[in-house]
Structure 1
Amino acid sequence: MRRTEHTDADLWRLVQQDDGPAFKCLFDRYWEKLYVYALNRLKSDTDAQDVVQDVLINLWSRRATVSIDTTLAAYLHAAVQYEVLAHIAKASKIAGRREELEKNVLPAFTSFLDLVQLKEMQAIVEAEVARLPEKMQQVYRLRQEKDLSVKEISRLLDVSEQTVRNQLSASYLKLRKHLKEAMLTVIFFQHL
């Protein structure tokens, strides 16, 4: 049987045994679909290629430890969706890219989520923010909801600017940890 006739599960088992040609077959099978998805979200050929390459390189490098509980197609799709989100987050921090992202990328990205899923995500975010310690939650809300600067928050709460920065950093870490899994769950269930 030629490798192109193997099922994804058969190919994945071979990949886990360090079979490079089996991985090449999976790569050829999914590259274009994943690339088109990333391109539709990121609106950049280079960024889309980078995202898909990162996902596939990561899959190859972690082949011995990755456990795929769904289909390979669903796993790869969710991995690319997550990497697109991570890419958008990184790019939004680069001066000049934020406006481009808000104008061209975010509307297209959120359009694939229906209204119910968007409300679910908002509810998850709000629940996670509510779980933060009181002072951390207060600093987070002043920054994110009231758009106050670190200096303004420092004055308002009568704490040092470094304390505000520490609270913000800690809140972002806590939220990122809890929201990553929730976001992947919402995205994954959209494609079942």
Structure 2
Amino acid sequence: MVLNELTDLDLWLQVKQDNGVAFKTLFDRYWERLYVYAFNRLKSTADAQDVVQEVMISVWSRRASLDIETTLTAYLHTAVQYEVLNHFSRAAKITGRSLEYGKNILPELTSYITPLHLKELEALAENEITRLPEKMQQVYRLRQEQHLSVKEISGLLNISEQTVRNQLNSSYQKLKKHLKEAILVAIFLHGN
């Protein structure tokens, strides 16, 4: 049997049976396209390589229990998307709130903004945060400023984890909507 000629499904079945050569074939089949996707978001060769390697290591280590309900392509692409977001989240915790506003809220636009304008946008973001409903603002601040997990916030506020997730998603959507216009104004009025 030539592994390179197997369909993704057949190759995955071989991987699930602890076939290391099949996994190497799978890795080689998907490495480049996953790397390109990660690089286009992260703009860093090393970070993109790390993201793809993390995903592939996770796939291998969870192979016996991992049930892929979509196509392998869709699963791996989604896994890389989540790992890119995790990368930004870890970076935000290390570098603070500037990266949160700069990368989590509108990553596609912030590369055009000077540090001075980013500070202005942070002030605008803070103003928008204070306009969130009280409970939503509380959940948002616990997550973004104190870096508490969903579970920790749930326990602290005595609300369900799903409510915490819903509040976070709503706050991100509201902030993104309100800040998008401000970022466009900063880009086009202030220039580079």
Q: Normalising TM by the smaller chain, what interval?
A: 0.5 to 0.7
Aligned to 1:65: 65
Contact 2:153 2:164 in 1 (8 A): no
Aligned to 1:8: 8
1:53 aligns with 2:40: no
Q: How does 1:26-175 map to 2 (within 5 A)?
A: 26-95=26-95, 98-99=98-99, 102=102, 106-108=106-108, 136-137=135-136, 139-140=138-139, 143=141, 170=156, 174=161
Q: Deviations over 1:48-101 (max 9, x none)?
A: 111100000000000000001111000000000011111111111112794498
TM-score (norm 2): 0.58
Question: Hey, what's the Cα distance between the residues in 2 that align with 1:109 and 1:7?
Answer: 39
Contact 2:88 2:104 in 1 (8 A): no
Q: Percent identity?
A: 54
Distance 1:29 1:137, change over 3 A: same
3-state SS of the aligned residue for 1:93?
Answer: helix
Alpha-carbon deviation of 1:22? 0.3
Whose relative contact order is higher, 1 or 2, with alpha carbons under 8 Å and at least 6 apart? Answer: 1
1:20 aligns with 2:6: no
How many residues were matched structurally? 139
3-state SS of the aligned residue for 2:94?
Answer: coil
Q: Deviations over 1:135-177 (max 9, x none)?
A: x546236x48xx9x89xxxxxxxxxxxxxxx758846x93698
TM-score (norm 1): 0.58
| More moved, 18-27 vs 87-96 | 87-96
